[in-house]
Amino acid sequence: MSLLLPFDHAERNLNAKLKPQLHSIHASLKLNNEVTATNVDILKTLLDDIRNQMKQKDPLFHRLFNRLEYTGSYYDGLRTKKADEFDINLVLNLPFKKDEFTVSDGCPGYVGYGVGPAAVDRLKREEDAKWVGLLQRWMDGEGR
């Protein structure tokens, strides 16, 4: 036996009035597939061009670049209205071991890495000195 909860006449009328409004709200929030596809294509083209130019102009970037990581509301399927904002993380293969750096996350949306002098000394011994010098230029005076 199933349990059915009866709606009274007033509830039915209210639901009938709300239904078109809810459909209208849903339609206004839904992503436009054509505009979204265009925006994603533009973004990909732009990022490919920037990445290629950076690799050509900066040999260290060329050596360390791993991939782009697409994150955020659009890629999580949570974006509404229009896809005109994208979050992309740049993933680098830095030549440090796990115990050679510290992570600082004091500011929302920003992550910093600190590297101790021992890590730089190890790199100077084990790596091509040219790359170590270029990498140090990316850091501030405190190894960040």
The pLDDT tens digits of the residues spanning 76-122 come to 666 666 666 778 888 999 888 888 888 888 788 788 888 888 888 88
Q: What is the pLDDT of residue 62?
A: 94
Phi, psi of 44 (to 5 degrees): -60, -45
Secondary structure of residue 124 in the 3-state scheme: helix
Does the reported pTM lie above 0.85?
no
C-alpha radius of gyration, the chain, whole number: 26
Q: What is the pLDDT of residue 104?
A: 85
Share of the chain above pLDDT 70, in %: 80
Residue with tokens 């505009």, as numbered in its chain: 35
Share of the chain above pLDDT 90, in %: 18
Q: Considering the chain, what is the average pLDDT of its residues? A: 81
What DSSP character marks residue 105? Answer: -
